Amino acid sequence: MSEPAAHFESIASLSRRIRARELSPVELAEAFLTRIDALDRKLGAFRLVCAERALSEAQAAEAAVSAGRETGPLHGIPFAAKDLFDVEGLPTSAGCRLLENNLALKDATVVRRLRSAGMVLLGKTNTVQFAYGGAGINHHHGTPKNPWHDVPHLPGGSSSGSGVAVAAGMAPMALGSDTGGSVRIPAALCGITGLKTTVGQISRAGVYPLSWSLDSVGPLSRSVEDAALVYSAIAGPDPEDDSTVAARPVDLVTELQRGIKGLRIAFAESVFFNDVDPEVEKACRACGGALVSMGARLSSVPFQVAEQARLLNPRGLIIAAEAYTLNQRLLDEHFDQLDPVVAHRMIKGREILAHDYLRTTLEWKRIRSEALDTFNQVDALICPTTMVPALPVEEADRDMDSYSDANMKYLRNTAIGNVLDLCGLSVPCGFTSKGLPVGLMIYAKPFDEATVLRVGHAYQQATDWHLRTPTPD
């Protein structure tokens, strides 16, 4: 086995090698654990590594292969989980020192489903405290280092450790959650693929909550095909999460093969492009040619409802109110022991009046309906995932004003999609002159993950940005 190839190899490729018995699950787990041991002291992606458990699970996966039992595409593949996801017997700290002894009694539904599919858990990745922030900073457990630059740069949040782990070749896939952009932002800043699913498609049972209205679960991976494989394994109804009552298991990997010939794809000409870094805009605009070459019908549309969505999300009103409600005891009783970049923003949730909260949710319903009118004219919209590439940590964390400015620049384009209840995908589409990744965001209507994945897969078939890797050693 060539270790560098395995570290940056897609799940689909690794799976083929396992089924052909060219590669054993134990060898694969050992290779990733060795790489974590070599790199993570510098990068800080993992909150905890469960090496013994991983090797035991890998041995069980290998025994199944040796016995000739039928294996699926995820069998024997390692993964990591953001430290919001419950894993039986391990703590779920949600990025907070006060929760470091919060032992889970059972696996989160998505963790259980992945382990049932034969995946091997390597460990749990660092997150912004309570998943509340787009920059990726955590003053308690440390801010994971973006592997694309020697000087510490932001990883994106809140699934910061998951993004760094996949980008640096320490895991082929990591689970994340997305409430305002927390899967797509680290995917964009770290040069990997991140899928934001529609609320109600994947169970959130056993996932530390931030906002019951907006929380969603999704994978961070090297390729769109890998994201589709994972999505197909974890989507579907769960009696422990009533938002999923209408969800149905799906096979989106087959959908990828349909290509995008004839699909109507449009640049979303609205707030998404306002004040965007010129190099980011140039890279995203250049994506049009690749999509046309794959048969798409490309245009531009005025998506003005995006600006309404931005204005109807002042200071993240809904998230702040719900996040404060969920974390009230910690905020009221232990405020000074919490990460200040989170606590000072989240505590404002207790100031939100009931009529402002309710009026905003009603307005969201109206503009979500208006957004669907655009998707009667186009199948997918494209725009930059973030306004700027990864900033130096020192610059973004200088003071509260610097942090707030950076946080807004990462969350603006992604949070609009959460407010409008869209599904979204971020794929790498280029690099800045400083060698920092740029992400392209693909949006489709709610519950149309098939389309965003088809568009993203076609783009990756026509380009090689997702195949480029950092050298964090």
Closest CA to 107 of 81, 83, 87, 84: 87
Distance of CA 303 to the CA centre of its chain: 24
Catalytic residue among 24, 93, 162, 182: 182
Catalytic residue among 82, 124, 196, 445: 82
Cα dist from 195 to 228, 329, 360, 427, 453, whole Å: 9, 32, 26, 9, 8
Q: Is 182 a catalytic residue?
A: yes
Helix (H) or strand (E) holding 254: helix 252-256
Structure-block tokens of residue 37: 């041991």
Q: How many CB atoms lie within 10 A of CB 455?
A: 29
Q: How many CB atoms lie within 10 A of CB 88?
A: 14
Distance of CA 121 to the CA centre of its chain: 17
How far is 270 from 160, CA to CA, in rounded Å? 28
Q: Is 93 a catalytic residue?
A: no
How far is 378 from 192, CA to CA, in rounded Å? 26
Q: Is 116 a catalytic residue?
A: no
| Sign of the alpha-carbon dihedral angle for 132, 133, 139, 143 | positive
Strands (DSSP E) along 271-342, which ranges? 297-302
Closest CA to 110 of 175, 40, 188, 172: 175
Structure-block tokens of residue 215: 């929380």
Q: How many CB atoms lie within 10 A of CB 199?
A: 23
Helices marked H in 119-197 — which ranges? 160-167, 184-190
Which DSSP category does 377 fall into? T
Q: What is the phi/psi pair of residue 400, to 5°?
A: -65, -35
How far is 37 from 31, CA to CA, in rounded Å? 10
Catalytic residue among 13, 158, 216, 270: 158
Active site residues per annotation: 82, 158, 182
